[in-house]
Amino acid sequence: MTGGQFLGDGPAVLAFDVGGTDTKAGLFDEHGSLREIVRVPTPYSTDGSGDAVLTQLAVLAGQFAARHPDIAPRAAGLIVPGLVDDDAGIGVRAENLGWQNVPFRDAASATLGAPVAFTHDVRAAGTAEYHLGAAGRFRNVMVVVIGTGIASALFIDGKPYSASGYAGEIGHAVVDVGGAPCACGGNGCLEAIASAGAITRLYNRDAAAPVAGAREVLDLARSGDALAASVWNTATDALGLALSQAVALLAPEAIVLGGGLAQAGNALFAPVEERMNSFLTFHRRPVLLPATVGENAGLVGAALGARSLLAGAQA
Ligand SMILES: [Zn+2]
């Protein structure tokens, strides 16, 4: 999508997607085109602070400035994983990156010398899907990202809903009491059964020959492997159950499924929708839509957040 007309005309902005493994940095120009994207390893915080991440953001911004002297970003969007308090601008914790209670929004703003929009990576991806994807015509939308883990972004009456970062964690809602252990410390969480990581793990636990990923489990299920079919069906059943509960509570008009597992297309969407609907009676049935913004949805959402800080400003 580099060079694509994604955001439309507006101020140039920087976007940073600090991931569990890699950090992506993007420079969006006054036409909303992603002029350059850079990917570097995310530094682990050895002291609980976000200093290593912040230093890296400054270096990346400096590289963009040197290579693109014609583009003057006016704001930045920064997204991180883990538990994120959007309103307070704090990265509360990210176990696998080592930080705790880092005031990322204000610190990044001071480091970069520009206003910073700060949020969770899945909420940013959800924002991109909501504003640029297929769900934008609805006011009540749930965007579920199914990859290594499972999380969601909620839009209620047209507004994002995060509840200080605690909302949307459908991956850690229990769908199998006493079931498989989850990284969060619980058992039977949706994420421990239906994420791409869990599908791979649960297949390999009982398989004669291990596979590298959920895609292979699906391929094996299609070729008649009973274990693979069982793991896949258990996952889609669990997703259908979890989504039906979200429907009962929030009544979204649309549910967008994204992330690596959504690449499975109809092999995921058909059984999940059928299972979800089997649990619904009087409820309003949502449409299930595939995510359309693509692998840089988080980065695009971060850029939209930066643009929103400058709303009304001219390019
Ligand atoms: Zn969990």
Domains of the chain: which residue ranges?
13-121, 134-290
> Does the pLDDT value for residue 6 go beyond 80?
no
Angle CA 26–27–32, to nearest 5: 110
d(CA 301, CA 7): 10
Q: How far is the CA of 241 from the centre of ligand 1 (A)?
A: 16
pLDDT at 86: 94
Q: How far is the CA of 189 from the centre of ligand 1 (A)?
A: 5
pLDDT at 312: 61
Asked if residues 175 and 186 have their Cβ atoms less than 8 Å apart, the reply is: no
> Does the pLDDT value for residue 1 go beyond 50?
no
Q: Do domains 13-121 and 134-290 have the same CATH topology?
A: yes
pLDDT at 101: 96
Asked if residues 144 and 150 have their Cβ atoms less than 8 Å apart, the reply is: yes
Q: How far is the CA of 152 from the centre of ligand 1 (A)?
A: 14
Q: How far is the CA of 185 from the centre of ligand 1 (A)?
A: 6
Q: How far is the CA of 231 from the centre of ligand 1 (A)?
A: 18
Q: How far is the CA of 24 from the centre of ligand 1 (A)?
A: 26
pLDDT at 2: 39
d(CA 98, CA 108): 18
Q: How far is the CA of 191 from the centre of ligand 1 (A)?
A: 6
CATH for the stretch 134-290: 3.30.420.40
Q: What percent of the chain has pLDDT over 90?
A: 88
> Does the pLDDT value for residue 19 go beyond 80?
yes
d(CA 309, CA 206): 51
Q: How far is the CA of 181 from the centre of ligand 1 (A)?
A: 8
CB atoms within 10 A of CB 243: 27
d(CA 270, CA 272): 6
71-75 mean pLDDT: 97
125-137 mean pLDDT: 91
Return mean pLDDT, the chain: 94
Structure tokens at 233: 């069906």
Structure tokens at 69: 């002297």
CB atoms within 10 A of CB 209: 6
pLDDT at 263: 93
Task: Report the b/e string of 13-52 with b at 16+ CB within 10 A.
Answer: bbbbbbbbeebbbbbbbbebbbbbbeeeebbebeeeebbb
Asked if residues 81 and 19 have their Cβ atoms less than 8 Å apart, the reply is: yes
176-204 mean pLDDT: 95
23-47 mean pLDDT: 95
Q: How far is the CA of 304 from the centre of ligand 1 (A)?
A: 30
Alpha carbon separation from 149 to 98, 190, 192 (Å, rounded): 18, 9, 8
d(CA 136, CA 232): 30
pLDDT at 3: 36
> Does the pLDDT value for residue 315 go beyond 70?
no
pLDDT at 313: 54
pLDDT at 5: 44
For residue 56, the 8-state DSSP code is: H
pLDDT at 127: 94
Q: Give residues with Cβ within 8 angstroms of 110, minimum separation 6.
A: none
48-65 mean pLDDT: 96
Q: How far is the CA of 169 from the centre of ligand 1 (A)?
A: 9
pLDDT at 151: 95
Tell me which CATH homologous superfamily contains domain 13-121. ATPase, nucleotide binding domain (3.30.420.40)
Q: What percent of the chain has pLDDT over 70?
A: 97
CB atoms within 10 A of CB 309: 18
pLDDT at 4: 40
Least confident of 19-23, 96-100, 215-219, 311-315: 311-315
For residue 3, the 8-state DSSP code is: T
> Does the pLDDT value for residue 42 go beyond 90?
yes
pLDDT at 20: 87
